[in-house]
Amino acid sequence: MKLKDRLEKELDDLKLADQFRFLRQLTPDGTHSHLDGKPLLNLSSNDYLGLSAWPQLRREFYEQMEHTADDAFALSATSSRLLTGNHPGYLRLEDAVSQMYNNRDSLVFNSGYHANVGILPALTTRKDLILSDKLNHASIIDGIRLSEAEFKRYPHLDLDKLEAILQKESQHYDNIFIITESVFSMDGDIADLPRLVDLKEKYDAMLIIDEAHGVGVFGERGCGVCEEHNLIDKIDIIIGTFGKAFCSAGAYAVMDKTIRDYLINKMRSLIFTTGLPPVVVNWSRFVLGKTIKMQSNRNHLHSLAEKLRTGIRNAGGETCGKSQIVPYIVGSNTDAVKLAEKLREAGLMVFPIRPPTVPKGSARVRFSLTAAMTEQDIERILEIL
């Protein structure tokens, strides 16, 4: 079948299965976004601390920056970091990240996707084994596929099955890498990091934790679930993002110096890409300095999430998780599409989440909460539901 014919047929199949996706034109406005001219409460954002709803932060940033060199506002790094793109903002940002994480070494990347598709291929060989939670993010899966290592997926959050694999396979490979998210973006549930650390120590494995949905939200300083359990120094690589709770762009990883030096030399998604613009890197450092002190905002966010989860369950709905991500699981793609349409008509910006993003038969709408919301917002959501 010719390419265009095949593509058109696959697109038609997606439409029939209610899995067809398209790009919407949205205009953000604080806790709301305008869709087709109508203001909707934005429940689909990853802006977990609600920083985009506080324009005074941007004003303070630019006022501070007026007293620095003009190149701090530059809109392009103009080169990769290994050539001329490693501007001073990078060094200051990595120093700030290191201070947050008990002075461990850190490395900043262009995105969480860049981090996940680059770290595993750089560190592993065909004599290694990667063990991955079955519901890990697509970027982790792509990183595994780009590596030469063998890999196995263990059932979601099933650490007994993970240990069974470790018992069977640990002697057959040079190195074993365990990789998981801390907070899972579709269910809002949380991996058991203390037990994962125990398993990695028991079987001499490398443990990589992707805290994309945990940083800013968990821990006294917002370092994530690893900080909440006092495990920062016991996890080999911790990956975080600036693009969600920290309201910026880019990502970072925390590790020891040897791994950092090796990634700088071998990680293709770091080496072969233009660096982040100085203005973005400097904004990330500015935001980190603020979010460290936002424990009351984190507490408020968790309170809102628990109120919503409890309300959904009390009304007979199906939900799960223990984080700021609250899914409302309906089952079929068609039901999820229809429910999302009705909720948007009622003023809530939610969209259907369908396979392959979630397992077949578990389509849902997902409420992604921010600390800029109020208890009245949650009451309104529950009233509409």
Report the distance separating Cα 254 and Cα 285, nearest Å.
15
Report the distance separating Cα 360 and Cα 213, nearest Å.
23
Residue/partner pairs of 334-337 with CB below 8 Å, 24 or more apart = 334/18, 335/363, 336/18, 336/363, 336/364, 336/365, 337/18
Catalytic residue set: 46, 137, 181, 185, 210, 213, 244
- How would you write 128-144 as a 3-class SS string? CEEEEECCCCHHHHHHH
Kindly report the CA angle at 139 between 191 and 136, in degrees rounded to 5?
25
What is the spatial order of strands in the sheet that 348-349 belongs to?
26-29, 32-35, 38-42, 348-349
| R_g of the chain computed on alpha carbons | 21
Residue with tokens 């495990």: 231
